[in-house]
Every structure is written in C-alpha cells, then in structure tokens.
Amino acid sequence: MADLSLRKVKKVYDNTVVAVQAFDLEIADKEFIVLVGPSGCGKSTTLRMVAGLEEITDGEIYIGGRKVNTVPPKDRDIAMVFQNYALYPHMTVYDNIAYGLRLRKFPKRVIDQKVREAAEILDISELLKRKPKALSGGQRQRVAIGRAIVREPQVFLMDEPLSNLDAKLRNQMRSEILKLRQKVNTTFIYVTHDQTEAMTLGDRIVIMKEGFVQQVGTPQEVFHHPSNLFVAGFIGTPQMNIFDAQLIREGERFFVELGGLRVELSPEKSARLLAAEVDSQPIKLGLRPEHLSLTEREDAVSAVVDVSEMMGSAVHIHVNACGQDVVIVVPLGEEEESGSMPIGMPVRFTFRGSAAHVFDPETGHNLEYPKTAEPEPEPEPLPEPAPAPLQEPQAEESAGEPIPEPSPEPAAPAEPEPAPLPKAEAVTVPEVVIPQEIFDDPVVPPLGDPFAEDEENL
C-alpha cells in the first residue's frame, strides 16, 4: 500500500517521439486508477515508467513518499501483470506462483502459505498441480495475477490484463478484478483501451490522447462533465451525438438552439457558463443517445428513422437529423417486445437542458469549464468507437523484455499541481514501433522477471 506522485513526468523516445507529455498526477493510497485511451496514447509508457521499465525523460515519480526515478524495478515494491500472462510452461501452477518468492529466498513454509492464500483468493486451489497448458486463458491469467499477489506489493500495475481473453471471459474477469481489489486492498494502476473497463473498475480515470492527459476524474465526472469533445466521444456507449448548434445567452439564462428547437439549460449549467464568461456563440452540442427522447411535440427536432437495433432492454434507433446520423436509445418496458420502427418513418426528438453539453467548436473545450491560461488544443475529431475487445492491435509485451536502467535524474523540487486539462501544442505521434512478438504457443514463457532478484540464485 502506498500513495504515488507523478510530477511533470514526461517521456520522449529517441529524442523525437513524445510518447507522454509532462503531466502531474497524485494517486492516493489504495486508490484504483485506470489509464485509458486509444492505442498509442502513452498509457503503457506511463505505467512502465512507474514500474521502472522505462526511463523517465523528465519529471519525478514518488512511491510511498520515496523518489524512485533511479530505483530499479525490483526495488520499487511493485508487481505488474501484463497482457501476456507470462507463465513458465514447464512449471506447475504452484511453482509458477511460488517462483518470485523462491528467488527472494522466502522460507518454504511462508511460500506455501502465501501460494495457497493467493490460490484461494483467485479460486484456483484445485489447479495448483496443473501445468499452464492444461489451463484455460482465464485460469492462466489468474495464475499470472497470483504470481503478482504473493509479492504483496505496495503498488499493483496491470497492463491490459484482459486483452487476450474472449468477450465473455473478459466480463467475468472484470468482476473478478473488482473482487480482487477488495481482497488485496492495495494501490492499483490499470491500463486499458476499453472505456467500459475503465468506467467499471476505476475510482478515478485518466483519459489520454496522443501523449496528453485529457481529463482526470471519477467515472461520474468524466461521463457527466467531459472536459472536451474527445473525452465526450470516448466515454460512453453508444457514443455521444455531436451537433452544430447555437448557444444563446439572455441575461443570466442560457439556451441551445438545434433544428428549430430551443431548450433552456439547467440553472447549474447556466451558472457555470456565466462564471466562465461565455456569451452567445456557435457551439458543438453534445447529447448522449440515452438523453434524447422521442416526442410528438411540434417544435421538436425532426428526424427520419434509418435503422433500429434491438438490444434487449432498449432499442437503439439510428435516425437522420440535422443532416447527420444520430442515435437515440429508447428503453423498453417489461411488456414491450419490440420497439423497432420502420425505415423511413418520420419521428421527432427532444432533450432536457440538464443533458446538453456545450463545446467550443474551435477548440473542443467544454465551455462550462473555466478557460485555461494556456492555449487550447486543435479541434479534435471524434474518436472511432472503442474497438471490440478481441481486436486490440497493441504491441504484445512479455514479462521478459530487456529492462533499461534509468539514468540518474537531477532532483529538482516540484510542487504537485492539479491534474491538467487539455494541453496546447499538437504532437506528431507515429505508429507503434515496438517489435511485435508472435507467440505460437499460447503459454508464453517469461524470459526473465524484472521485479525479481537475480534469477541465477534460484
């Protein structure tokens, strides 16, 4: 258990690729933090800097109050679980879990107790004598987590631990991780590209894009108060609808106008816009599909049904409105069997002022947020919908990569600052260049354990 402090932490690869722009983040003891964003946004690099697997170009990292910039991974008191559950194929589950403890020369009795406790937590006590080949993907991932649990680390790092599992198993393991978190009760930093995983697991979520931290907040905060268009589009499924619209200010009241419909914003929103000194202006209006409602009202926004998708408890109606595709989620009552609507059917929809998100069309900045002193980023195109769980194109990593030793950093005192909102200059982030390893054998043998003592002492 430990708190973490990341101060102006930055990573530049080969003097050219800015993988992570300087940012500050304070992580409380026992907090579960999720780093989330599209592939290549810098989340793994950030995690690997905390682990000590990647040298920090600039800034400082503190774990439990101790500056660890030059501390090697094995002395940081952390454990890491990777996407590839790196297990030794020739060892039993028991020996795989015990491995790190044996390296550290723990007494046999202690090792036995810890292995059995971890197996109990992970519900794999029955499998201790098996070899990894005789396990399912989910079971292997549990063993990999077991290897990390027995270390009783101060900080638990997880890099896309569920990416290799199929959708059903992934959902199951997600709730397992929630349970694990209750039992292990330590500080977690978890990396994923999947916003659902981030929303369900994180106490707080750090949303990244192209090396920039876009927003840090609780799932509720980032969902209800996205700091910019990127976060608005990335968090929530189906994706938020974005319209070109108009913001009207009348004294201290604010209205949005869309397709002939005028809706007054809630007093809370108006108060924030007033405080931010916003005036009437063209906006990007964000409306979540579940916040649009079909209506008979004459003044509502006109639309034409394109297609309707039956999702069980709701119907997702895709319509054409204001010259663009719009999704409306219509919940279905218990008795309703089908809420589908014929293609070409004219409908109307409306929305409440409390559900409207107003963004600056130039910068993508949420106008309810105070203007930052720094210039705003370039307008953001909306992200592609989150990729399906099995299509993760990210580079594969094994626990046995060579570990660069971080070079000594000058100790420059820096005050922690609040988490930054979107930063200025755009960076060019090239495609992933990490060599892709293709493992034919589903059981990937770890080539070395970066968090263990000298392996030759085994």
Q: Which of 19, 86, 177, 265 binds ligand ADP (CB under 6 A)?
A: 19
Q: Which of 429, 442, 445, 453 binds ligand ADP (CB under 6 A)?
A: 429
Shortest distance, position 258 Cβ to ligand ADP, whole Å: 35
Residue 198 engages ligand ADP in binding (rule: CB under 6 A): no
Q: Which of residues 382-411 bind ligand ADP (CB under 6 A)?
A: 394
Q: Among 162, 182, 181, 164, which residue's Cα sits nearest to residue 172?
A: 162
Q: For ligand ADP, which is the closer residue by CB, 57 or 96? A: 57
Shortest distance, position 55 Cβ to ligand ADP, whole Å: 10
Distances (CA, A) of 100 to 90, 94, 148, 458: 16, 11, 9, 9
Q: For ligand ADP, which is the closer residue by CB, 207 or 341? A: 207
Contact pattern for ligand ADP over residues 22 through 51, marking x by CB under 6 A: ---------------x-xxxxxxx------
Round to whole Å and give the CA distance between 159 and 154.
Answer: 17
Within a 10 A sphere around the Cβ of 418, how many other Cβ atoms?
9
Name the one residue in this structure whose structure tokens are 């890491």: 80
Binding segment for ligand ADP among 106-114, 169-177, 377-385, 429-437 (CB under 6 A)?
A: 429-437
Q: Which of 1, 12, 17, 427 binds ligand ADP (CB under 6 A)?
A: 17
Give the CB-nearest residue to ligand ADP.
44
Round to whole Å and give the CA distance between 189 and 75.
Answer: 18
Name the one residue in this structure whose structure tokens are 């989330």: 36
- Beta strand pairing call for 17-27 and 4-13: antiparallel
Burial of 222 by CB count in 10 Å (0-12 exposed, 13-18 middle, 19+ buried)?
buried
Written as one string, the DSSP assignment of 112-180 is HHHHHHHHHHHT-GGGTTS-GGGS-HHHHHHHHHHHHHTT--SEEEEESTTTTS-HHHHHHHHHHHHHH
Shortest distance, position 5 Cβ to ligand ADP, whole Å: 20
Round to whole Å and give the CA distance between 77 and 225.
Answer: 35
Give yes or no for a contact between 238 and 324, defined as CB atoms under 8 angstroms apart.
no
Strand, helix or coil for residue 7: strand
Shortest distance, position 200 Cβ to ligand ADP, whole Å: 19
Shortest distance, position 401 Cβ to ligand ADP, whole Å: 10
Shortest distance, position 51 Cβ to ligand ADP, whole Å: 12
Shortest distance, position 189 Cβ to ligand ADP, whole Å: 13
Binding segment for ligand ADP among 24-32, 125-133, 273-281, 428-436 (CB under 6 A)?
A: 428-436
Q: Which of 65, 107, 413, 430 binds ligand ADP (CB under 6 A)?
A: 430
With contacts defined by CB under 6 A, how many residues of the chain interact with ligand ADP?
Answer: 18
Radius of gyration, CA atoms only, the chain: 25
Q: For ligand ADP, which is the closer residue by CB, 37 or 153? A: 37
End-to-end CA distance of the chain: give it in Å, rounded: 27
- The residues of the shown chain that bind ligand ADP, judged by CB under 6 A, are 13-14, 17, 19, 37, 39-45, 394, 429-430, 432-434
